[in-house]
Amino acid sequence: MDVRAAVALGPGQPLTIETVQLEGPREGEVLVEIKATGICHTDAYTLSGKDPEGLFPAVLGHEGAGVVAEVGPGVTSLKPGDHVIPLYVPECRQCEYCLSFKTNLCQAIRLTQGRGLMPDGSSRFSLGGKPLFHYMGTSTFSNYTVVPEIALAKIRSDAPFEKVCYIGCGVTTGLGAVINTAKVEPGANVVVFGLGGIGLNVIQGCRMVGANKIIGVDINPNRQELATKFGMTHFVNPKEVEGDLVALLVELTGGGADYSFECVGNVNLMRQALECCHKGWGVSVIVGVAAAGEEISTRPFQLVTGREWKGTAFGGARGRTDVPKIVDWYMDGKINIDDLITHVMPLDEINTAFDLMHRGESIRSVVTF
Ligand SMILES: NC(=O)C1=CN([C@@H]2O[C@H](COP(=O)(O)OP(=O)(O)OC[C@H]3O[C@@H](n4cnc5c(N)ncnc54)[C@H](O)[C@@H]3O)[C@@H](O)[C@H]2O)C=CC1
Ligand SMILES: N[C@@H](CCC(=O)N[C@@H](CSC=O)C(=O)NCC(=O)O)C(=O)O
Ligand SMILES: [Zn+2]
Ligand SMILES: [Zn+2]
């Protein structure tokens, strides 16, 4: 079938809107009509060419929501008409990783997903007879996409696509980093580096679990107002700090953060996030994705003296299990998504979403189809 997609033809180039050919679903696969997709910083990272797994030409996008249009042979958990959120971290419930219950990093289809292919090693997308790569197993910058059954969370049918698509990445990553990965407890003091689409959800998660001081760090002063609305108690702009930022954060937290989160993808901030943690027990969680070749460093003494360095992918969430619950939280008014979606646009204007992000003018842009 012919579909409309924003295609990344090469690194650093704007996306081009094309009529693309999409094959129907094969064994264990599902054709999804995408109704809305968010644009995450990770899409921009891959488009920049700095992602070692970035392949071109490709259909990017990993923060979508839509409706099942057709199921392939062997699909049992979904049927046409079901509302779904595609998952870049699937949940097969059978692999060693899923069964360990120690991680959400299902590996059932990770190898082919990282090569931009469906689990059988081929692509469903093509342009002018030449295959296009899939992206993160989801390729939501298209009005139709094909996704493995194990990479689809079935959600309630009354949830608005243009809001809950954000649960496909940013919301779940931020809330999950707090709840699943750090396991922040009531009364904890936290520091959040980066108050964008992810960091604001970390702030929201910290407020939900009853954190005490929630200190936000960002070089964009415009982030202060919204972050405060989401639960931030103190704002620090590193550009306005005279002297040592880490020392200031240790002082503000009364000895160091119980938990810190790096939500930018900057290895220097990752070090500061670790070193502002409390001696003996502080835990720092890396959420941001740093470019190929970047490395983190600190004095091992920081760890010897009891700080812990962790990382999180998709907030440690098991997507098919956890995503429908987060959709319920939104529908029950327990979490705020609406105020984070600052721009909504048609597919033709998707490059504007990247421009807004790079200029620091958006939190989340959403494309509706
Ligand atoms: N681990 C995971 O599962 C996921 C990771 N990510 C990654 O998280 C990071 C953040 O993503 P988004 O929130 O969508 O990006 P964003 O662009 O919306 O937000 C980044 C924020 O960092 C701030 N910032 C930039 N440089 C800074 C500095 N030197 N000091 C303090 N603040 C600074 C910006 O002003 C902005 O507010 C990206 O690296 C993205 O790839 C995103 C989703 C999931
Ligand atoms: N391909 C990149 C790393 C990208 C990455 O870390 N992705 C995160 C999700 S970011 C979403 O916006 C993730 O889930 N990683 C787990 C995984 O298995 O990829 C690189 O190689 O740098
Ligand atoms: Zn993302
Ligand atoms: Zn699995």
User: Looking at residue 340, what is its pLDDT?
Assistant: 98
pLDDT, tens digit (0-9, with 9 covering 90-100), for 267-280: 999 999 999 999 99
Question: How large is the ipTM?
Answer: 0.99
Cα-flanking dihedrals φ and ψ of residue 150, to 5°?
-70, -5
Q: Locate tokens 């990017």: which residue?
A: 60
- Report how far Cα 346 is from the mean position of its chain's Cα atoms: 21
| Ordered alpha helix ranges (H), 60-216 | 96-100, 110-114, 161-164, 170-176, 199-208
Dihedral of alpha carbons 8, 9, 15, 21, sign: negative
pLDDT, tens digit (0-9, with 9 covering 90-100), for 127-156: 999 999 999 999 999 999 999 999 999 999
Average pLDDT over residues 20-30: 98
Q: How far apart are the first and last CA of the chain?
A: 17
Any catalytic annotation for residue 276? no
Which atom in ligand 2 lies closest to the alpha carbon of residue 52? 21
Q: Which ligand is nearest to the CA of 135?
A: 2
Q: Which ligand is nearest to the CA of 203?
A: 1
Around ion ligand 3, residues with a beta carbon closer than 5 Å are: 40, 42, 169
Contacts of 56 (CB under 8 A, 6+ apart): 8, 9, 10, 11, 133
Q: Which contiguous run of DSSP H or E holds residue 352?
A: helix 350-358
Q: Which ligand is nearest to the CA of 241?
A: 1
Task: Tell whether ligand 2 has an atom less than 6 A from the beta carbon of residue 217.
Answer: no
User: Looking at residue 9, what is its pLDDT?
Assistant: 98
Around ion ligand 4, residues with a beta carbon closer than 5 Å are: 92, 95, 98, 106, 108
- Nearest protein CA to atom 4 of ligand 2, as residue: 289
The strand pairing partners of 178, in sequence order, are none
Any catalytic annotation for residue 165? no
Any catalytic annotation for residue 278? no
pLDDT, tens digit (0-9, with 9 covering 90-100), for 247-261: 999 999 999 999 999
User: Confidence class of residue 288 from pLDDT cuts 50, 70 and 90?
Assistant: very high
86 CA distance to ligand 4 middle (Å): 15
- Nearest protein CA to atom 18 of ligand 1, as residue: 196
Cα-flanking dihedrals φ and ψ of residue 231, to 5°?
125, -5
Any catalytic annotation for residue 92? yes
Which atom in ligand 1 lies closest to the alpha carbon of residue 195? 37
Which atom in ligand 2 lies closest to the alpha carbon of residue 105? 18
In this structure, the number of other CB atoms found within 10 A of the CB of residue 181 comes to: 23
Q: Which pTM value belongs to this model?
A: 0.98
pLDDT, tens digit (0-9, with 9 covering 90-100), for 90-119: 999 999 999 999 999 999 999 999 999 999
319 CA distance to ligand 3 middle (Å): 14
Q: Which two tokens stand for residue 119?
A: 């689990």
Contacts of 107 (CB under 8 A, 6+ apart): 95, 96, 97
Write down how long the chain is.
Answer: 369
Q: How far apart, in whole angstroms, are the C-alpha atoms of residue 256 and residue 278?
A: 4
User: Looking at residue 244, what is its pLDDT?
Assistant: 97
Any catalytic annotation for residue 93? no
Q: How far apart, in whole angstroms, are the C-alpha atoms of residue 262 and residue 289?
A: 9
Task: Tell whether ligand 2 has an atom less than 6 A from the beta carbon of residue 289.
Answer: yes
Q: Which ligand is nearest to the CA of 291?
A: 2
Q: What percent of the chain is modeled with pLDDT above 70?
A: 100
Q: Taking a C-beta distance cutoff of 8 angstroms, is the pair 259, 190 a contact?
A: yes
Q: Locate tokens 């595609």: which residue?
A: 86
User: Looking at residue 39, what is its pLDDT?
Assistant: 98
Q: What percent of the chain is modeled with pLDDT above 90?
A: 99
Q: Taking a C-beta distance cutoff of 8 angstroms, is the pair 216, 223 a contact?
A: yes
Examine residue 160 and say whether the peptide bond preceding it is cis (omega within 30 degrees of 0): no
User: Looking at residue 315, what is its pLDDT?
Assistant: 98
Instruction: Please state, rounded to an integer, the average pLDDT across all residues of the chain.
Output: 98
Any catalytic annotation for residue 95? yes
Catalytic residue among 62, 83, 318, 320, which?
62
In this structure, the number of other CB atoms found within 10 A of the CB of residue 230 comes to: 23
Catalytic residue among 33, 63, 91, 262, which?
63
Which atom in ligand 2 lies closest to the alpha carbon of residue 110? 18
User: Confidence class of residue 303 from pLDDT cuts 50, 70 and 90?
Assistant: very high
359 CA distance to ligand 4 middle (Å): 38
pLDDT, tens digit (0-9, with 9 covering 90-100), for 185-220: 999 999 999 999 999 999 999 999 999 999 999 999
Spell out which residues line ligand 1, taking CB within 6 angstroms: 40-42, 45, 169-170, 173, 193-199, 217-220, 223, 238, 263-266, 269, 287-289, 312-314, 357, 360
Task: Tell whether ligand 2 has an atom less than 6 A from the beta carbon of residue 313.
Answer: yes
User: Looking at residue 193, what is its pLDDT?
Assistant: 98
Q: Taking a C-beta distance cutoff of 8 angstroms, is the pair 134, 118 a contact?
A: yes
User: Confidence class of residue 223 from pLDDT cuts 50, 70 and 90?
Assistant: very high
Q: Taking a C-beta distance cutoff of 8 angstroms, is the pair 151, 90 a contact?
A: yes
Q: Which two tokens stand for residue 45?
A: 């990272």
